[in-house]
Structure 1
Amino acid sequence: MIDDYNFALCLTHDVDRPYKTYHAPLYALRDRDPRHLRSLLPGTNSFWTFDRILELEDDLDVRSAFYFLSEQRLFGDRPPREWLTKDGWRLFGGRYSLDDRRIRDLIQELDAGGWEVGLHGSYESLTDRDRLATEKRAVERALGKSIRGGRQHYLNLSIPETWELHQAIGLDYDCSLGSSESYGFEHGYSIRRPFDDEFVVFPLTLMELALPNVETDIEGAWRECERLLAEAADNEAVMTVLWHPRFFSELDFPNYAALYRRLIERAQELGGWVGPPGAYYEQLDHPTPPIAPRQLD
């Protein structure tokens, strides 16, 4: 039970780009390292790190949440004027499909192993109930059962409208409140209930992108992680972290996997509960809705 622990560390992964496609030559030029080009060959995609993540978490006896994206395609869904733009490629280029057999098999594997599967709402879905509902159904079709929550792509939020839509389509929680540029407990030490009911917001404490100089100074980055964990333990906090799966590729993002492991190990040493938001949500006591007054005849 979560009440038996000093604090909580919720682990999440946004599945944005499981395939390294047009990034390979760009990274090869950036790093002057032709090894990046291997990802263009069959069976050598360095962004497909799920086996490594599952092995790491299983070794530490923890589970996490994976949020899957059903994004528009640059060629087919977006207007031609965006095909040669930087934003067009950044937002819609190289995305995957939930109909991809490998993705569907992954989702089934995660569920069978006790990991949580949830929704990563697409870039333009934050104020679009129909789009959000369609994307939720797509994840649930691949999973074979209902999902509990997720996070919006790029942390896009329109408050409180996005949360109202999440609740309306049957989600119990959201993890979008936070920043990709800063980290800490800016939004408090606990979950939030924006409507004073069963719907819950897990503020994002740390995204790996926000940490300083991980690739060149892992000890400096670790000191920041350790400081956050100590703060969480001192305040009986709910700390939520996001590590994108591609950051477990040592070729592309050195040191991030090691840092993630140390984060979990230290949380366990400090007496923290570690797991996915959905499992934490299941153990919460929720407000009891008020009983409507009886109408007299």
Structure 2
Amino acid sequence: MTELLDEYEFALCLTHDVDRPFKTFQAPYYALQERDPSHLRSLLNDEQPYWQFEEVMSLEDDLGVRSSFYFLNEKRLWEKGLREWLRPESWKLYGGRYRIEDERIVNVIRDLDRGGWEVGIHGSYETYDDRGRLWYEKETLERILGKEILGGRQHYLRLKRPTTWEHHRAIGLKYDATLGSNGGYGFDGQYDVLRPFNDEFVVFPLTAMERPLLESAGSTEAALRECNRLLDEAAANDAVMTVLWHPRYFNESEFPGYRELYVELIEGAQDRGGWVGPCGECYDRLELEEMIQ
């Protein structure tokens, strides 16, 4: 791989896809599924168990790291045709999403940026093959942020190769972090970033997502062993390792174990001499090294 400057053994890129920071229709679903009415509290008061921005920022601040937050600007269900309203899948895709212009979202985007975190785009469901919509979402986010963004990841890891990357590059994005699996994890022999056009546009393959990692391992203890195995593999191969933790999984009461795994990855990478940070900063380091060489 291209070495990330001589002082580091490998890189661990931390990313968060911001899908549903507010618990909406999930509340009655979980209440029925688990026979636990406490899930309904978020519908009756101001409690928002999936709003974990401050928790993640505090945790990462304590560990001395920063990460990438990718924000979604999904279409509303009312923007779809009546036929879509009758499809249960459409409610999952478009219902209960947040508005990126919501004052609470705008404030947290700006707080993240001021604190040194990277803000990027989480391209909505159809933008993997809709350049116009992707450009609109990028422009909207940049207007809120007050500066240009470097990259992001497509929603549901939807990717049409190389078309999606052509769209990203054409609208001025420098990297994409979509390439990966919703159901598995690991390097699959891919230890470096990709340059699909042999230029400055970079692809960060996704090594692990929180839920497939823990569910495949079967227990927190087994998942911790897998985290350490992945870190050892990264260190042995000078790898660029990218992980995805959705913010809601930092809610320990509903998702026990996920926060512990995240901390283990960061501390384990640091103990092994790895660089840890957001994809945007990793991209800048890679490009600087390309210029030096």
Short-chain TM bin? over 0.9
Deviation of the 1:216 alpha carbon: 6.9
User: Is 1:112 paired with 2:114?
Assistant: yes
How far residue 215 of structure 1 moved from its aligned partner, in angstroms, is 10
The correspondence for 1:68, drawn from 61, 66, 71, is 71
* AA partner of residue 201 (structure 1): V
Aligned twin of 1:295: none
* Equivalent residue, structure 2, for 1:173: 175
Corresponding letter in the other structure for 2:22: Y
Q: Which amino acid aligns with 2:73?
A: S
Give the Cα–Cα distance (whole angstroms) in 1 for the partners of residues 215 and 248 of structure 2: 17
Alpha carbons 2:184, 2:216 under 8 Å: kept: no
Question: What residue in structure 2 maps to residue 231 of structure 1?
Answer: 233
Q: Following superposition, which runs of at least 4 residues in structure 1 exceed 4 angstroms of deviation?
A: 286-289
1:89 pairs, out of 88, 91, 116, with 91
Q: Match of 2:127, SS?
A: coil
Q: CA deviation at 1:85?
A: 2.3
What pairs up with 1:247-266 in 2 under 5 angstroms? Answer: 247-266=249-268
Read off the aligned partner of 2:120 and give its amino acid letter. G
Residue 98 of structure 1, CA deviation: 1.1
Is the CA contact (8 Å cut-off) linking 2:217 and 2:223 kept in structure 1? no
Letter matched to residue 34 of structure 2? D
Corresponding residue SS for 1:67: strand
Residue aligning to 2:196 = 194
Contact 1:155 1:178 in 2 (8 A): yes
Which of 248, 268, 273 matches 1:271?
273
Higher mean alpha-carbon deviation, 211-220 vs 153-162, is at 211-220
Counterpart code for 1:24: A
Q: Is the 8 A contact 1:10 1:276 kept in 2?
A: yes
Deviation, structure 1 residue 214: 8.2
Question: Are 1:10 and 1:240, in contact at CA under 8 Å, matched by a contact in 2?
Answer: yes
1:127-179 alpha-carbon deviations (Å, 9 max, x no partner) = 11111100001111111110000000000111001101100000000000000
1:29 aligns with 2:26: no
- Looking at structure 2, the residues matched to 32 and 145 of structure 1 have their Cα atoms a distance apart, in angstroms, of 46
Count matched residues.
288
Structure 2 counterparts to residues 131-210 of structure 1, below 5 A: 131-186=133-188, 188-210=190-212
Question: 1:56 is matched with which residue?
Answer: 59
* Consecutive unaligned residues in structure 2, runs of 5 or more: none
Tell me the distance in 2 between the aligned counterparts of 1:173 and 1:241.
15
Decide whether the 8 Å contact of 1:8 with 1:274 is kept in 2. Answer: yes
Mark the structure with the bigger radius of gyration: 1
**TM-aligned CA distance change 1:285 to 1:213, over 3 Å:** closer
Structure 1 match to 2:17: 14
For residues 203 and 125 of structure 2, what CA distance do their matches in structure 1 show? 19
> One-letter code of the match for 1:115?
W
Larger displacement relative to structure 2 (243-252 or 9-18): 243-252
Stretch deviating more after TM superposition (250-259 or 95-104): 250-259
Query: Separation in 2 of the partners of 1:94 and 1:187?
Result: 38
Relative to its length, the structure with more helix (as a share) is 2
**TM-score between the two structures when normalised by the length of structure 2:** 0.94
Worse overlay, 12-21 or 245-254 = 245-254
Q: Is the 8 A contact 1:28 1:35 kept in 2?
A: yes
Please give the per-residue CA displacement for 1:247-271, whole angstroms capped at 9, x wherever unaligned: 1111221111111111111111111
User: 1:187: how far off?
Assistant: 5.7
TM-score when normalising by structure 1? 0.93
For 1:143 and 1:41, the matched residues in 2 are separated by 32
* Residue type at the aligned position of 1:93: G
- Larger mean Cα displacement after TM superposition, 2-11 or 233-242: 2-11
Residues 211-261 of structure 1 show CA distances to partners (whole Å, capped at 9, x for unaligned) of 144897210111111111110011010000000011111122111111111
Cα distance between partner residues in 2 of 1:143 and 1:13: 17
RMSD after superposition: 1.8
The structure 1 residue matched to 2:101, chosen from 96, 99, 102, is 99
- TM-superposition CA deviations, 1:40-98 (whole Å, max 9, x none): 13320111011110010000000000000110111x11112222322111111101111
- Per the alignment, residue 219 of structure 2 pairs with 217
